[in-house]
Amino acid sequence: MSESQHYVLHVNGTLHEVGDAWIGESLLYVLRERLGLTGSKGACEQGECGSCSVLIDDELICSCLVLAASAIGQEVITIEGIAPVGSPTDVQQAFVDFGAVQCGFCTPGLIMAAHALLERTPEPTETEIREELSGNICRCTGYGRIIEAVQRVSVARAGRR
Amino acid sequence: MSVLVAATLNEALELLSAEPDSMVLAGGTDAMVEINMGHRRPARVVAVGRIPELRTWSYNAESATLRIGAGVTYGELELDPFLRWVPALSQAARTVGSPQIRNAATLGGNVATCSPAGDGLPVLAALEAIVHLVSLNGSRSIQFSDFMTGPKRTGLWPGELIEAVSLPVFSRWQGYAKVGVRNAMVISNAGACLAVDDVGGVRIALGSVGPTILRCPEAESFAESVVDHQRRSVRESDALEFGRMAASAARPIDDHRSTAAYRRHAIEVLARRLLRRAFPNV
């Protein structure tokens, strides 16, 4: 239990002190405005668009729907924490290689969702990909290349197993 | 504003007893929208999402009853063992929001918000679920239909928390269907759960078409008189009539999501379709 206006969040393997912040701020707001982690995007702020998706204790969650101060003691992974700069994950590389990125706004959320999907279902059907990514809205690509990128990663990973 | 993260059920109850006006935060998928949009500024938030006692479930084989903790998420409810025991609830769970929403949103939160559009609620009404409530003064268990008193209105007393929901496990067909503007990430414009109980009763409960979840007693007794359980059959004309009777039990309104006329039509189609799924032969 903690009632303080100061609290500590565990983000991307590092402890971050959040101070002088309004206690009602969403995790998305705190990530972007207090911690400078602007990879997670804010658009709808009601869980509809998925562009703020992060992993909390390994679960894919919309960070806009998390009260930041209630996430104390949980492990938050954002797009910045998914891989070191300059060493993209296989999912990130596939998004680049197969043209799944256009304006890029939805990309961080989709990368997080694609990682969560492939953890849960390593060899998804196209229908499963569409259903699992249904919480992430992309207004550019029409989704075809995003689905292809996920399929390519799935096949490549299966080949390595 | 202050935020308290309760570690145990007792701690949460003590906090609620001390300040019954506290906002209870479970998955946050309803509450945070109100906070983000500035519609709500609670003085105190008690977060209950990580209380282990609320995140468990148990099955009593003797009474064939499933007790699901209020903190179990819709993501969990989509899968076994819930899919096997209460498939209508799993189907409803799968239509809630998106994977991200379902990973956070809880059954208890859906019951506490008690929106007529809550996807889990027609299932609870059709299965005649019991809602278990607990406070520092003790606990009580009431029928879901008595718990939901109106749109977003419940019989929850100050200082009380929803602890769990109990559901019967039936052996016959049950399912949930809804209509919205698209398949994913949508709030229902009309929804229905149909369940066949173990003595052959046909139950149907409607969501988003009234101030509370509505059962359809006339349509239910009609169905019981016309279906053939052995052959799992119903005549097409009777299925049509069942749809019409369910639609006449609806009490929909026009609002920003849909019109009363469309909702009534949707219920007619959904009810007929669900009865046909339960009794696929003619």
Min CA distance, B93 vs chain A (Å)?
A: 13
Residue A3 has what pLDDT? 46
Residue A1 has what pLDDT? 46
CA distance B69 to B67: 7
**What is the CB neighbour count within 10 angstroms for residue A26?**
24
DSSP string, B116-184: TT-TTHHHHHHTT-EEEEEETTEEEEEEHHHHEEETTEE-PPTT-EEEEEEEE--SS-EEEEEE-SSSS
CB contact (8 A) between residue A67 and residue B29? no
DSSP state at residue B233: B
Residue A128 has what pLDDT? 97
Kindly list the residues from chain A whose CB atom is less than 8 angstroms away from the CB atom of residue B16: none
Q: Does A50 touch chain B (CB under 8 A)?
A: yes
Min CA distance, B185 vs chain A (Å)?
A: 6
> pLDDT band at residue A2, thresholds of 50, 70 and 90?
very low
Three-class DSSP labels, B200-232: CCEEEEEECCCCCCEECHHHHHHHHHHCECCCC
Instruction: For residue A142, give every residue at least 6 positions away whose Cβ sits within 8 Å of its Cβ, in sequence order, or none.
Output: none
Measured in whole angstroms, the distance separating CA A99 from the mean position of its chain's CA atoms is 19
**What is the CB neighbour count within 10 angstroms for residue A119?**
11
A51-89 tens-digit pLDDT? 999 999 999 999 999 999 999 999 999 999 999 999 999
| Cα B43 to Cα A28, B40, B157, distances in angstroms | 21, 10, 19
The ipTM, to two decimals, is: 0.94
Tokens representing residue B79 in the block? 């899968």
Tokens representing residue B126 in the block? 């059709």
A14-60 tens-digit pLDDT? 999 998 889 999 999 999 999 999 999 999 999 999 999 999 999 99
Q: Which residues of A9-21 are buried (b: 16+ CB within 10 A; e: fewer)?
A: bbbbeeebebeeb
How many helices (H) and strands (E) are present in chain B, helices listed first?
Answer: 12, 14
Kindly list the residues from chain A whose CB atom is less than 8 angstroms away from the CB atom of residue B29: 47, 62, 65
> pLDDT band at residue A5, thresholds of 50, 70 and 90?
confident
Q: Does B113 touch chain A (CB under 8 A)?
A: no
**What is the CB neighbour count within 10 angstroms for residue B236?**
10
Min CA distance, B215 vs chain A (Å)?
A: 30
What number of CA atoms fall less than 13 Å from residue A84's CA on the CB side? 2
Below-70 pLDDT ranges, chain B? none
CA distance A81 to A94: 18
Contact B272, B264 (CB under 8 A): no
CA distance B233 to B165: 32
Q: What residue type is assigned to position A64 of the chain?
A: C
Residue A108 has what pLDDT? 98
